[in-house]
């Protein structure tokens, strides 16, 4: 039996209300990137980087956007899904015309809207306060964003699959977020990391996101190995989540 469009809309609205009521989950993915932006923007705006762009454009903005996408996809979304499973909501939906898969779709739409809001606010603030510029290669930036969202949300689905409780989902998500960020340049340039760690970090989704967006902002094509890395993480995450995820 097909799901009525009204049911899709109603559930999406409910998901949105749940996200809005989760104050920490709503504010942190916006406030933390803003803090990183403010701490680094002044100095970076005056330094020239690739493609004649400033270091703010090529380095700081991609890092800020990666933090937004990773915090929502790897921490927030798995927590909501784990809560629904623990509360039995997914199991009860399975015996109604509304498939439990609809919850996943609705949560994905709402979290994507939150990510768009976080990225939009950060970029608008960077433009107005520090003179940031849009990407030199808009198409490459769009491609990089889509690939990055897919990879980071795939990691989030793996977290939701293995976490037995909402608290454990948040804990595992936090660990995954900080590990990915640490080897991907969130706490400073990857030049200070051991070569092997830096190489692994560049292939993991956080570092690959930063690298892809950096190239797009500088007007360069996204490197093939970065695209392959994001696609590989997406495929692996979807496969693992499909096998391990339980609705009850």
pLDDT tens digits, residue range 220-229? Answer: 889 999 999 9
Question: Average pLDDT, stretch 211-238?
Answer: 95
Q: Which residue has the higher pLDDT, 8 or 69?
A: 69
Report the distance separating Cα 202 and Cα 167, nearest Å.
29
Contact indicator for 59, 87 with CB cutoff of 8 Å: no
* pLDDT attached to residue 16: 83
Q: What is the dihedral of CA 78, 33, 59, 204, to 10 degrees?
A: -20
166 CA to centre of own chain:
19
Residues in the chain, total: 248
**For residue 98, what pLDDT band results from cuts at 50, 70 and 90?**
low
Question: Average pLDDT, stretch 53-62?
Answer: 91
Question: Average pLDDT, stretch 43-47?
Answer: 79
* pLDDT attached to residue 30: 87
Contact indicator for 187, 181 with CB cutoff of 8 Å: yes
* pLDDT attached to residue 43: 79
Report the distance separating Cα 192 and Cα 210, nearest Å.
16
Per mean pLDDT, which range of 61-70, 101-110, 181-190 is the poorest?
Answer: 101-110
Beta strands in the chain (DSSP E): none
Q: Output the average pLDDT for the chain.
A: 87
First-to-last alpha carbon distance for the chain, in angstroms, is: 21
Which uninterrupted H or E stretch holds 115? helix 101-130
* pLDDT attached to residue 51: 64
Residue 59 pLDDT exceeds 70:
yes
Per mean pLDDT, which range of 1-10, 31-40, 57-66, 166-175 is the poorest?
Answer: 1-10
Question: Average pLDDT, stretch 111-135?
Answer: 93
* pLDDT attached to residue 1: 45
Residues 6+ apart with CB under 8 A from 236: 154
What percent of the chain shows pLDDT beyond 70?
92
pTM of the model: 0.91
């Amino acid at each position: 039996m097909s799901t009525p469009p009204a049911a899709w809309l109603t559930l999406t609205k409910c998901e949105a209300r749940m996200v809005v009521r989760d104050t920490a989950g709503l504010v942190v993915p916006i406030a933390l990137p803003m803090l990183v932006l403010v701490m680094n923007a002044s100095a970076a705006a005056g330094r020239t980087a690739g493609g004649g762009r400033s270091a703010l454009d090529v380095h700081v903005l991609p890092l800020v956007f990666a933090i937004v996408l990773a915090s929502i996809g790897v921490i927030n979304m798995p927590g909501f899904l784990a809560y629904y499973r623990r509360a039995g909501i997914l199991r009860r939906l399975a015996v109604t015309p509304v498939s439990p898969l609809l919850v996943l779709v609705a949560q994905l739409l709402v979290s994507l809207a939150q990510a768009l809001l976080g990225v939009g606010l950060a970029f608008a603030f960077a433009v107005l306060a520090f003179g940031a510029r849009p990407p030199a290669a808009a198409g490459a930036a769009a491609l990089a964003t889509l690939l990055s969202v897919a990879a980071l949300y795939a990691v989030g689905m793996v977290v939701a699959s293995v976490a037995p409780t909402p608290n454990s989902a948040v804990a595992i998500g936090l660990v995954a977020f900080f590990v990915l960020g640490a080897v991907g340049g969130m706490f400073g340039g990857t030049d200070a990391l051991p070569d092997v760690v830096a190489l692994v970090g560049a292939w993991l989704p956080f570092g690959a996101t930063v690298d892809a967006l950096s190239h797009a902002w500088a007007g360069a094509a996204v490197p093939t190995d970065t695209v392959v890395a994001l696609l590989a993480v997406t495929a692996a995450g979807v496969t693992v989540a499909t096998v391990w995820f339980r609705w009850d």
